[in-house]
Amino acid sequence: MISAGLVTSGLLEIYFHRQESWEHFGLIQKESADATASKIEQFVQEIARTMRAATKTREIVREGLSPDYKWELRRLLVNSPSITAAAGFDLNGVKHAEARRLKPFPSQDKWNSVIHAALEKAKQRQFHFGPVYFPEEGTFPEGAGPYMTIAVPIERFAGEVIGMLVAEIDLKYVGQVISSIHVGKAGHAYLVTGSGQLIAHSDLSLVLQKRNLAQLDQMKAAFQPNSKEPKPIALVTRNLHGEKVFASYALISSLGWAVLTEQPIQEIYVPLYASMLRTSGVLLFGLGVALVATLFVSRRVVRPLETLRQGVERIRQGDLSTRLELQTGDEIQILADEFNEMAAHLREAYSDLERKVAERTQELTTVNEKLVEVSEHKSRFLANVNHELRTPLSSIIGYARLLRRETEGQISLLQRENLKDLLRNAERLLRLIDSLLDFAKIEAGKMEVQLEPVRIEELVQGAAASIEPILNKVAVRLIRDIPSEIAPLYTDREKLRQIILNLLGNAVKFTDRGEIRISASQEDGDFKLAVADTGIGIDKADVHRIFEEFDRGRLINDGSYRGTGLGLAIVKRLVGVLGGSIIVESEVGKGSTFTVTLPFKTREATSL
């Protein structure tokens, strides 16, 4: 983490220092370009002011513009070496006096190209700076540089313009100003026009070649039209030789020129590389210190903590005899001592716990043995009770049926109804004994499952036939909704039959009027059997209680309905034995719907 922090801070320092250095170099080079532009503008303005002084003579005031004015023009040539020729023109463009050096005077066409624009400026008492041009071949000595014209108004009295003084300026003297400018160690400055024409350069041969630099990026940046985006003060680009340079520029608005300064990019990188080297050295030193600190921390802190971790791991694995030997003389040693005490207490507590667990296990074993014995006694008792009760009860049922058949038409109606009630109660008692025995078998886990193909329609038909005798056919309808296309269900026939009988019997018991509907369907590979009635319904608080043994719910505990509360408990357990589930939906006063869901099983799955 320390190394990452140092590396990150070092890289950020290098990045921001680079940005600051670029801005610093850009400002320095921009200032150099501005200073050079100011010198060149002052140089040209000084020539214009000298020409202006030459128009304020006594001859002009006394005689106006005359041929004798040439003497003043010759004096102007002597005082200003950069002026190669001068002439005085009246406001009609007629030349009255001229003076020139040894080389030929500019042709009349050359003058005419600037006289019109110069006259307009002169009438407004303004200076005129003409465009830069190169002399035609044969008119000047070989190697002559670029020229320009300057025109100033000639005033006889203040405000009375009588003509203008036009002078041709040799710009090689501007080149001398450019050559005196040093940009870094290997950089240079040069002067260009708005069209890209090279005017002055430290290498005069480039000027004489009439090079045009309009394609350079620095030229485009200097003369680009005004835009919302600020102009860069410096940029990295290529010079006219294709070399990568750091360039800046400064405009001379009054002349339409620009000074461009360039410095080789390698020269810019030298201080940057030096700064990066210093930063890298500091970074390496910091990394070394961080490494030493890490080793110290590892020796004094990390290793003891790792020892503590290993001790905790051994304790977690159950080795309570673990003890730590740390002699660091600090808080870690105190923590190790506390750890050893904790391990000792844990060992004592674990030993005590083992002893108590052994005692409780022995007690539970004894209790379980007694419970098993009690369960066996209960099963034998229920089996004996079932056998002892079923024998006389079967005899009672048999004799009651025989008596009812043999006394047909021989006894009164009241006696016949009493005999029928006797038979019905005996059969109810027999079913109750069977229910108790089935419930005992389920709880003892002795209920066996016999899988076979079962046609649901036939099973429901038989169950309905058993229920119809106790159904109040006047007030209650029994509706069977069993599609014939349902495939056979592989399950235990008798247990499914008992489920259907219990659900139908339950519905008949609590339905005084309306209907009882039994339906079956196949959904998503499961078999669904639903028994719905329009009986008294079940309170929401009792929905989860009705499947508990001997719990009949609050609505039927008032004695109006008979039963032991075992029917639904047996249904739930039988459904569980068959691998299914049962749910109930009910509303008090509107009836209940019990839905049993059982899985379909193929013959191959059953054989497994």
Q: How confident is the model at residue 297 (pLDDT cuts 50, 70, 90)?
A: low
Q: How confident is the model at residue 329 (pLDDT cuts 50, 70, 90)?
A: low
CB distance 573 to 439 below 8 Å: yes
Tell me what the mean pLDDT of segment 128-149 comes to.
Answer: 72
Query: What is the number of helices (H) and of strands (E) in the chain?
Result: 15, 17
Note the pLDDT of residue 6.
66
Tell me what the mean pLDDT of segment 516-538 comes to.
Answer: 89
> Which of 102-111, 247-256, 292-301, 387-396 shows the highest mean pLDDT?
247-256
Q: Percentage of the chain surpassing pLDDT 70? A: 82
Alpha-helical regions (H) of 298-330: 303-316
CB distance 464 to 502 below 8 Å: no
Note the pLDDT of residue 593.
93
Choose among 302, 364, 357, 314: nearest CA to 339: 314
| CA separation for the pair 203, 199 (Å, rounded) | 11
Note the pLDDT of residue 582.
92
Per-residue pLDDT at 423 exceeds 80: no
Note the pLDDT of residue 532.
93
Tell me what the mean pLDDT of segment 11-39 comes to.
Answer: 79
Q: Concatenated DSSP letters for 80-140?
A: -TTEEEEEEEETTS-EEEEEE-SSPPPPHHHHHHHHHHHHHHHHTT--EEPPPB-PPTTTS
Tell me what the mean pLDDT of segment 510-520 comes to.
Answer: 90
Average predicted confidence (pLDDT) for the chain: 79
pLDDT in tens, 157-187: 777 888 889 998 888 888 888 877 777 777 8
Least confident residue range of 53-57, 275-279, 563-567 = 563-567
Between residues 585 and 231, the one the model is more confident about: 585
Q: How confident is the model at residue 558 (pLDDT cuts 50, 70, 90)?
A: low
CB distance 232 to 221 below 8 Å: yes
Q: Percentage of the chain surpassing pLDDT 90? A: 6
Per-residue pLDDT at 499 exceeds 70: yes
Across 387-450, the runs of DSSP E, i.e. the strands, are: none
Note the pLDDT of residue 450.
83
Tell me what the mean pLDDT of segment 111-133 comes to.
Answer: 82
Per-residue pLDDT at 504 exceeds 80: yes
Angle at 250 between CA 173 and CA 198, to 5 degrees: 45
Note the pLDDT of residue 606.
36
Per-residue pLDDT at 31 exceeds 80: yes
pTM beyond 0.75: the answer is no
* 342-380 exposure pattern, b = at least 16 Cβ within 10 A, e = fewer: ebeeeeeeeeeeeeeeeeeeeeeeeeeeeeeeeeeeebe
Give me the sign of the Cα torsion angle 398, 403, 406, 412. negative
Angstrom CA distances, 65 to 93, 193, 290, 444, stand at 12, 34, 88, 144
Residues 6+ apart with CB under 8 A from 164: 88, 89, 91, 118, 119, 122, 151, 152, 153, 154
Per-residue pLDDT at 26 exceeds 70: yes
pLDDT in tens, 560-606: 555 556 778 888 888 988 889 999 998 888 899 999 999 876 343 33
pLDDT in tens, 91-115: 888 888 888 876 555 555 566 667 8
Note the pLDDT of residue 565.
63
Least confident residue range of 173-182, 196-205, 375-384, 540-549 = 375-384
